[in-house]
């Protein structure tokens, strides 16, 4: 299977500015370097994403995959990113059938940083079959500890979301962007370039953002059956997770968490849990 040719465009993730403190002094601080990236597919403008641009080629590839515009990675011949003009030029091997009709219907989602889904994704959920993977409570705590130790743009500049892909407690990839949707699309692109050697069957996906329906759907499309979030879950995210049999764990910080769906995939070890606070403590 021929893989697409990718550029390796890079851009600074942060920039320094001066801010005023409560004491009236000037302080140099770092802020995320958000920038627009307009995607062109076979010279046709598709969408503009707001991104940090850490791995823009993976982001574009994952976006095309998660929007179901490209079914196989070998359909893409090349992705060329040029930050001077803020554009990503995608060349396909045979074009995208009915691209106008397929991109005409959009559902605006609750995400930040270009969270839109082309219509029809919900209709394809019935075809998703997730592998029978599980995670132990000890492994879950290992994932949370790895995230705690991870150096990040968030720690230095704030205002970004982070996503990570794990095999057990081993972190395979950590990505930050202005929106969690961009971060998961970047991970999807990375995985796609490594299939069939890398599949979602033995993976755990972590995000700092809410578990919305779109995040659950994208995780399922990647074949990842276990999702962990520092935040909570929306009603539709919960309904989709239950429908797919996906394990959704939220409010996961230190040794605290709530398993919202897919309870049978989480192998509890109560002896590892922190003491439960009594009323009035």
What is the CATH classification number for the domain harbouring 206?
Answer: 3.40.140.10
User: How many helices and strands (H and E) does the chain possess?
Assistant: 7, 17
Q: What is the C-alpha separation between 103 and 114, in angstroms, rounded?
A: 15
Has residue 197 been placed in a domain? yes
H, E, C per residue of 10-33? CCCCEEEEEEECCCCCEEEEEEEC
Structural domains of the chain, count: 2
**177 and 100 together in one domain:** no
Q: How far apart are CA 29 and CA 140, in angstroms?
A: 34
Q: In this structure, are 94 and 192 located in the same domain?
A: no
94 and 201 fall within a common domain: no
- Predicted pLDDT of residue 223: 93
User: Would 128 be classed as within a structural domain?
Assistant: no
**Does residue 281 form part of some domain?**
no
Q: Is residue 66 part of a domain?
A: yes
The answer to whether position 129 is within a domain reads no
Do the Cβ atoms of 47 and 114 come closer than 8 Å?
yes
Its sign, for the CA torsion 21, 27, 32, 33, is positive
Q: Which residue has the tokens 């979602």?
A: 200
Tens place of pLDDT for every residue, the chain, 281 residues? 789 999 999 998 888 989 988 888 999 988 888 899 999 999 999 999 999 888 999 999 999 998 888 989 999 999 999 999 999 999 999 988 777 766 664 444 434 444 444 445 566 677 788 999 999 999 999 999 999 998 777 666 666 888 999 999 999 999 989 888 899 999 999 999 998 888 999 999 999 989 998 899 999 989 999 999 999 999 999 999 999 999 999 999 999 999 999 999 999 999 999 887 555 54
Which residues, 6+ apart, have CB-to-CB distance to 169 below 8 Å?
139, 142, 143, 146
- Give a yes or no: residue 124 inside a domain: no
What pLDDT, on the 0 to 100 scale, is given for residue 203? 96
pLDDT of residue 21: 81
218: containing domain? 135-272
**How many other CB atoms sit within 10 Å of the CB of residue 81?**
24
pLDDT value for 29: 86
Query: Do residue 56 and residue 139 come from a single domain?
Result: no
Provide the pairing of β-strand 5-6 with 76-82: parallel
Q: Buried (b) or exposed (e) across 20-58, using 16+ Cβ within 10 A?
A: eeeeeeeeeeebbbbbebebbbeeeebbebbbbbbbbbb
Among residues 66, 94, 119, which one ends one of the domains? 119
pTM of the model: 0.86
Q: Residue 112: what pLDDT? A: 47
Residues 161 and 74 in one domain: no
What stretches of 133-264 show up as alpha helix (H) in DSSP?
137-149, 153-157, 180-194, 213-221, 235-244
- 3-class DSSP assignment, residue 157: helix
Q: Is 1 exposed, middle or buried (0-12, 13-18, 19+ CB in 10 A)?
A: exposed
Examine the fold and report which residue of 67, 92, 119 is the final residue of a domain before the chain moves on.
Answer: 119
- Residue 112's SS3 state is coil
In order, the DSSP letters of 39-96 are: EEETTEEEEEEEE--SSHHHHHHHHHHHTTS-SSGGGEEEEEEETTTTEEEEEESS--
């Amino acid at each position: 299977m021929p893989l697409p040719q990718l550029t390796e465009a890079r851009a600074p993730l942060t920039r320094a500015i001066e801010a005023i403190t409560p004491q009236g002094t000037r302080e140099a601080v770092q802020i995320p370097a958000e920038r627009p990236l307009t995607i062109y597919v076979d010279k046709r403008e598709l969408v503009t994403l707001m991104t940090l641009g850490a791995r823009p080629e993976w982001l574009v590839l994952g976006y095309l995959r998660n929007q179901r515009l490209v079914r196989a990675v070998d359909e893409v011949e090349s992705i060329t990113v040029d930050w001077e003009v803020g554009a990503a030029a995608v060349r396909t091997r045979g074009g995208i059938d009915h691209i106008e009709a397929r991109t005409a219907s959009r559902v605006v989602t609750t995400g930040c940083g270009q969270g839109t889904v082309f219509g029809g994704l919900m209709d394809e959920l019935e075809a998703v079959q997730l592998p029978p993977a599980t995670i132990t409570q000890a492994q879950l705590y290992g994932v949370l500890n790895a995230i705690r130790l991870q150096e990040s743009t968030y720690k230095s500049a704030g205002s970004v979301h982070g996503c990570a892909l794990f095999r057990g407690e081993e972190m395979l990839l950590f990505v930050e962007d202005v929106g969690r949707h961009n971060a998961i699309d970047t991970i999807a692109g990375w995985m796609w370039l490594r299939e069939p050697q890398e599949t979602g069957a033995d993976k755990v996906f972590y995000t700092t953002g809410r578990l919305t329906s779109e995040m659950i759907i994208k995780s399922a499309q990647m074949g990842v059956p276990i999702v962990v979030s520092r935040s909570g879950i929306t009603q539709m995210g919960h309904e989709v997770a239950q429908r797919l049999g996906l394990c959704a764990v939220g409010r996961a910080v230190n040794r605290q968490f709530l398993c919202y769906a897919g309870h049978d995939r989480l192998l509890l070890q109560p002896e590892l849990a922190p003491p439960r606070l009594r009323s009035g403590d």
